[in-house]
Structure 1
Amino acid sequence: MCTATATATAIEVRPSCPPIDRITSFVRARRRVYLTATLADDSALVTDFGADPDLVAQPVTPGSAADLGERMILAPVALNPDLDDEAVRVLARQFADGDHDGDGIAETDPVNVVVLVPSERAAAAWSRHAHHIWRVDDLEAGVRKLQSGHVGLVVLVNKYDGVNLPADACRLLVLDQIPRPLDSVERREAVALADSTVRLAREVQRIEQGMGRGVRDGEDYCAVLLLGAKLATAIHDARHLALFSPATQAQLKLSRDIAGQIKGEGLDAVRQALRSCLARVPQWCERSRRALAEVRYAEHGTVRPEAVALREAFDFAATGRPQAAAERVQKAVNDIGENDKALRGWLREQKAAYLHLTDPVAAQQALAGALADNTFVLRSVHGAAPVRLKAAAVQSRAAAEFLADRYRDGVRLRLGVQALFEEVVWGDDERSDDAEAAWQSLGEHLGFASSRPEKLYGRGPDNLWALTAARQAVIELKTGCTTDTIAKKDMDQLGGSVRWLNDHNPEVEAVPVMLHPSRAADAKATAVPGMRVITPELFEKLKDAVTAYAAALASSPDR
């Protein structure tokens, strides 16, 4: 009843739902009480714990959210897209040292600054500013130190829940980049459900958990800085905002009002806003209290129908009824409309898994249907026939239509472009899939028809851009490589992808492109004729050019 997920470093085996019936004391308990401060979507209680969805939908809540404590939440890059992340890191260290105005002299008491990062690579960017970098094994002792006095600037690696930092233990909290999926199963799901509300809800939950580390009761207060374009988007995009808890939504609205007053200004304006929170300026404190005073918790919990279906289907299958499990998932599929094809395809893959236990032929048919809805689910054994990529008739018009459909205003456009480039991380093989997805999206931003043949068909290049009706860029991304030269196997892969395009679309000229940290071929490798190499240095030039393009479009309301 388990799924095996293989990555470059491990194989993870786990069931689609925890087999909660194996924990006898839990199953036989007369009462089960679930405590949570941040769960806007309660579906996890059903899928993970087998909770009764009807009871979960009737939560016991306080009468008001006014006892939650005070937070000012700012995303510097949303205030001014030209603000540098490194400058924000310097600011955070200065606040830890009591230097609020940044003149090199401590004029007030130092505070504990806690930074949450999703990876070792992100932690490395803080190494020259941090007093300590703590991982899971260091946390228990480290948190005790923070709770007992001044420690300084502390970085916690990939820990967004289960850490309590009340009062002076944390006065300035920094979330640097969006939390990453924790394991291989979640990473695969993140790719398949990238634009689905289900995925957004999980992302928002982890962000909210992270932002809640520094405020633990009604008298507590904390300033929160969000680094990275994706985090900034999360507190400005309507789809994300709707998924935060009511109290956090109220605090975000107040913070946006503050942000609106300092929009376009430099880091000094951010300093001043933070000081008004940390120095307990009466005007800020009063506005913060009023923002929460009228907030009421939702009377009904949110349990997504497909979550209930997946739990019930797993329970059917676990008791020897896989056909009933498949039928239960199909019922959930029927209830999902055209607006969320990604989720529909993902569920049809789950249905195929249950069908495979009794009818492998029907399972393959179900998988083919799943692929029609979501190109990132498992492929059927018969595969899918490649579809020819057609270039846009007019590149500029295609770009304009894509951007107008994707972004409501210039701020979101600039954040979206920055977020794209944040997804391309050199030297990290686990981020290769993110880089490929970002590269496909970059092509669409620039008005090119763009696809991922290897992901879609198991053959062909990582990315394919239709530059014109007669030319297509065959692109292999080797951003995860750390070698000084381009290996023979990577050259051969690019050559094979060119031949793949020639076989499927012989009238189109292939332009071979590779993203690689080196432009030098290994002694055993033969370069593909006419190939281009995008090195990290050239990638930065591309990033600057596209960012400037977005800034130009965003600079005038009539664009």
Structure 2
Amino acid sequence: MALELPTGTGKTLPGLVIANWIRITRTARVAYACPTQQLAQQVAKVAAREGVPAVTLVGSHSLWSTLDKAAYEAAEAVAVTTYNTIFNSNPHLAVPELLLFDDAHAGEQYVGEQYAIHIRRSKNEKAYSDLLDVVAPAIDGIPLQRLRDYTPDPGMYRSARLVIPLRQPEMVSRLDAVLAQLPAPWTFRYSMIRDVIPSCMVYVSYGSILIRPVIPPTSANPVFTQAAQRIYLSATLGDGGELERAFGRPAITRVALPSTTPTPRSGRRFFVFPELAEVTDPVELARSIVLSAGKALILAPDTNTAISTARELAQPGWPVLGIDDVEGGMEGFAALPNAVCGLAARYDGLDLPGDHCRAVVLDGKPDADNLQERFLSQNVRAGAALAERVRTRVVQGAGRCTRGPNDWAVVIVMGSDLTTYMVRPETRQNLDPELQAEIEFGIQNSRRTSEVEILDNVGTFLRQDDSWRIDAEPIITELRNGATVTPPAGSKALAAAVKDEVEACALAGMGEWKEASARANEAALKLGKGGDALRGYRSFWLYLAAVWADQAGTVTTDHTLRQSALAYRAQAEAAAKPSMWIRELAPLPSSQPQALSSASAVAVAAVAARLQSTSIPKVAALTAETLSALRERKPTVYEPALTKLGFMLGADAQKPPGSGRCDSTWCWDHQLWLAIDAKSDHEPAGLVPQKDIRQAGDQLRLLKADRQAADIPPDSATVIVSPKPAVDPTGAAGAEPHVHVIHPDGVLALAEAAARAWDALASKRAGLKESQLRELVADHFSQEGLLPEQVRDRLTANPVASR
């Protein structure tokens, strides 16, 4: 069962009371598991203070005290331990009657990583290279070349590609052979997944490779499964089955707080959004706020971001601490008069109450804790399936410096992705009313506010003087009273599907491919009831159903199963639209070569014809001029380059006539249209205004009139190009679903890919027949992500409309 004990209620003491009561009344062994050794030490201190007999069993079992181990096994004391003491290849903890998990909402991070092999290129180039060689046959030529280059490609660094070894000739055995040769600590992780290697996914980026099953096979762990009872203590139980996915359990009974329970107060937070303010440098504003607070905790999704931001926000001479400095506890940081501490993915379990720290910086949206999350979020667009864990990380991170009802701290929100996420009304509506009010108050006092005003407000807040109590608190109270909590979109369908997801992965791990496919399809059917919010995640499970059905057909020589696999794959691709992630994967062995779509055929024919009529020097001039112009902010330079880019992409590209029109339209016959509305001269701060969003909503209808078309082609879109970090929430609420926003860097990356393709094709076209040139164009454009549907996919990752 899972018990909801929100931040501010003090989960440790109730957890210890339950643990000790079970130990005494049943004369039972009880283990209390924490995510990290640092948290285990904190729990042990609370147990000692409250008189609960407890022993700490963490780290290597060979170093455990014999007396402590004996006290636990004799049920004379509660064993305080860590997740990885339980979830490892050879757990030495005697099976408990009760196994209690603290901070269970962080389970995906601390359980999933035990069933995964993560190879960082920077730390083990040979292992990375060996694994890349194994999966290379499933990756297209140009992306593979970039992965192998010594010079990092920014796009490959930020992205993640999926490889499924199961349906590639001999790839499973080759993968297993390479993993078996890895030294410690990977040896232990390999032991965890050795029996389920055929069902594992491989995620590849320039910086690392991750091998793991979709859901960890925890049922094979004796300490976990043989415990008579498992209790999960969570700050938020969620509505979408996140606990089940994290711990690999098909069902967990939830005991939520009664509706009559008062919302616990965990102190007051003043949110500041530097990128919404009227400032020239958001980082400098954040730095000034940290100076006012005296110190700050910086939390980011990755170590590089955490440390680089910490260094940027520190004053000269201030210590900059990292994970190695605080692994044993936060006391050293808390004792310093001035300091910053940058930590990666540590949104839970850090207690900095009172004057220990009055500022926390959240830098970057925590939706890519690992490559599987990155792939699901960016490629599959399954954000709704990840929403619960992202929301929990943000909430937990924001509360690290407010540990009691009378505490207070500034929360600085940095990064355009996190800023955009938090200003969206649908994000805030899922939070408790108090936090909704604090964030809304922060947005109101950051938007179009000068640096002087913000720093003055921060000073008033940090002093907690009468001005704050008289002027600010009544507004927050009013906002809280008017707030309502709305369940996330698709949460019921996610909860309904989780049992089938867990069982499908367990069956795949046992090689029961036919049954695994059926369960995956059943999960997809239930996810379908979640509507558009779960389309991407549904496509992922349909594709797994296809892979496993194809494997079952091969093993059993059942042709009907292989036909089912093709049907599942077709359903997956339909559900994924407009995303094209499935077409980037290696085809199933039973698949026929896929023909170009109508829009892609139009683009390929146009590009081939344009290349034939353009000399190599003119191609070089065109690509250079286009790239140069798209690096500018001046509209008179930037906007014409959009039409040149559309020309290079094989579209009928032009600047539409008349006032109030977008800056370029790209039309691939009547198959797909894109309207590009450039706001390159926007300042990189604040919000895309409502008037720009409203104007964008008309562009496809106006284009339809221009072309005298009966209708607008399906999946057509309007794209606002702006460097601003977020859009006006009022505009987002009324935006049409075809309107999207992208940073100019995204358009530039598209142009760079088009320039590479044109330069390469120009040098290879000599002596080719028209059909051969078209085939070459199709191949290069597909691998560079330049076919019309791929272009739409690249430009429409961020819809403006609230969902």
Q: Which deviations, in whole Å up to 9, do the C-alpha atoms of 1:73-96 show, x marking residues without a partner?
A: 12122233x441232243134214
Report if the CA contact (8 A) 2:367-2:386 is conserved: no
The percentage of aligned residue pairs carrying the same residue is 18
Q: Tell me whether 285-294 or 267-276 shows the greater mean CA deviation.
A: 285-294
Q: How does 1:3-402 map to 2 (within 5 A)?
A: 3-38=201-236, 40-51=238-249, 53=251, 55-56=253-254, 58-60=255-257, 63-80=261-278, 82-96=279-293, 111-122=294-305, 123-127=307-311, 129-130=313-314, 131-141=318-328, 143-148=330-335, 150-179=337-366, 181-194=368-381, 196-259=383-446, 263-281=447-465, 282-283=469-470, 284-285=472-473, 287-288=475-476, 304-335=495-526, 336=528, 337-338=531-532, 340-360=534-554, 361-362=562-563, 363-374=565-576, 375-377=580-582, 378-381=585-588, 382=592, 384-386=594-596, 387=600, 388-389=602-603, 390-391=651-652, 396-397=661-662
- The separation in 2 between residues aligned to 1:407 and 1:86, in whole angstroms, is 20
Structure 2 counterpart of 1:186, which letter?
A: E
Report if the CA contact (8 A) 1:171-1:222 is conserved: yes
Structure 1 counterpart of 2:226, which letter?
A: R
Q: Which deviations, in whole Å up to 9, do the C-alpha atoms of 1:217-241 show, x marking residues without a partner?
A: 3222111111122222112112332
Aligned: 1:504 with 2:779: no
Counterpart secondary structure, 1:5: strand
Residues 1:299 and 1:383: Cα distance change in structure 2 (over 3 Å): closer
Q: CA deviation at 1:203?
A: 3.2
Report if the CA contact (8 A) 1:229-1:418 is conserved: no
Counterpart secondary structure, 2:210: strand
- The separation in 2 between residues aligned to 1:72 and 1:47, in whole angstroms, is 33
Q: CA deviation at 1:323?
A: 2.0
Report if the CA contact (8 A) 1:76-1:227 is conserved: yes
Structure 2 counterpart of 1:160, which letter?
A: Y
Q: Tell me whether 250-259 or 215-224 shows the greater mean CA deviation.
A: 250-259
Residues 1:293 and 1:199: Cα distance change in structure 2 (over 3 Å): same
Specify the alignment match of 2:754 in structure 1.
Answer: 474
Q: CA deviation at 1:496?
A: 6.4
- The separation in 1 between residues aligned to 2:341 and 2:242, in whole angstroms, is 31
Report if the CA contact (8 A) 2:216-2:246 is conserved: yes
Q: CA deviation at 1:215?
A: 1.8
Counterpart secondary structure, 1:265: coil
Q: Which deviations, in whole Å up to 9, do the C-alpha atoms of 1:239-274 show, x marking residues without a partner?
A: 332344444223223333444xxx323111111222
Specify the alignment match of 2:105 in structure 1.
Answer: none
Query: Which blocks of at least 5 consecutive residues in structure 1 are unaligned?
Result: 97-110, 422-436, 444-461, 466-472, 478-489, 515-559
Q: CA deviation at 1:204?
A: 3.0
Counterpart secondary structure, 1:73: strand
Q: CA deviation at 1:441?
A: 5.6
Q: Which deviations, in whole Å up to 9, do the C-alpha atoms of 1:280-326 show, x marking residues without a partner?
A: 13223455567668989899996533333311322333455332222
Q: CA deviation at 1:45?
A: 0.5
Q: Tell me whether 160-169 or 263-272 shows the greater mean CA deviation.
A: 160-169
Counterpart secondary structure, 2:333: helix
Counterpart secondary structure, 1:63: coil
Q: How does 1:389-468 map to 2 (within 5 A)?
A: 389=603, 390-391=651-652, 396-397=661-662, 409=690, 417-418=722-723, 442=747, 463=750
Report if the CA contact (8 A) 2:249-2:502 is conserved: no
Report if the CA contact (8 A) 2:419-2:725 is conserved: no
- The separation in 2 between residues aligned to 1:501 and 1:253, in whole angstroms, is 58
Report if the CA contact (8 A) 2:303-2:343 is conserved: no
- The separation in 2 between residues aligned to 1:195 and 1:289, in whole angstroms, is 35
- The separation in 1 between residues aligned to 2:241 and 2:393, in whole angstroms, is 14
CA RMSD after TM alignment: 4.4
Paired positions, count: 439
Q: Tell me whether 134-143 or 170-179 shows the greater mean CA deviation.
A: 134-143
Report if the CA contact (8 A) 1:246-1:296 is conserved: yes
Counterpart secondary structure, 2:269: strand
Specify the alignment match of 1:525 in structure 2.
Answer: none
- The separation in 2 between residues aligned to 1:264 and 1:411, in whole angstroms, is 17
* Higher Cα Rg, which structure: 2
Q: CA deviation at 1:13?
A: 1.9
Residues 1:292 and 1:439: Cα distance change in structure 2 (over 3 Å): closer
Q: Which deviations, in whole Å up to 9, do the C-alpha atoms of 1:147-166 show, x marking residues without a partner?
A: 34534333334433332222
- The separation in 1 between residues aligned to 2:217 and 2:777, in whole angstroms, is 55
Counterpart secondary structure, 1:161: coil
Structure 2 length-normalised TM = 0.47
Report if the CA contact (8 A) 1:326-1:355 is conserved: yes
Q: Which deviations, in whole Å up to 9, do the C-alpha atoms of 1:405-440 show, x marking residues without a partner?
A: x9782698999833689xxxxxxxxxxxxxxx9679
- The separation in 1 between residues aligned to 2:777 and 2:519, in whole angstroms, is 47
Report if the CA contact (8 A) 2:438-2:476 is conserved: yes
Q: CA deviation at 1:279?
A: 1.1
Of Structure 1 and Structure 2, the greater helix share is in 2
Q: CA deviation at 1:14?
A: 1.2
- The separation in 1 between residues aligned to 2:331 and 2:762, in whole angstroms, is 53
Q: CA deviation at 1:190?
A: 2.2
Specify the alignment match of 1:548 in structure 2.
Answer: none
- The separation in 1 between residues aligned to 2:675 and 2:759, in whole angstroms, is 36
Report if the CA contact (8 A) 2:274-2:413 is conserved: yes
Report if the CA contact (8 A) 1:349-1:366 is conserved: yes
Query: Which blocks of at least 5 consecutive residues in structure 2 are unaligned?
Result: 1-198, 555-561, 604-650, 666-673, 679-686, 697-718, 727-741, 785-803
Structure 2 counterpart of 1:366, which letter?
A: Y
- Point out which structure has higher relative CO (alpha carbons under 8 A, 6+ apart): 1
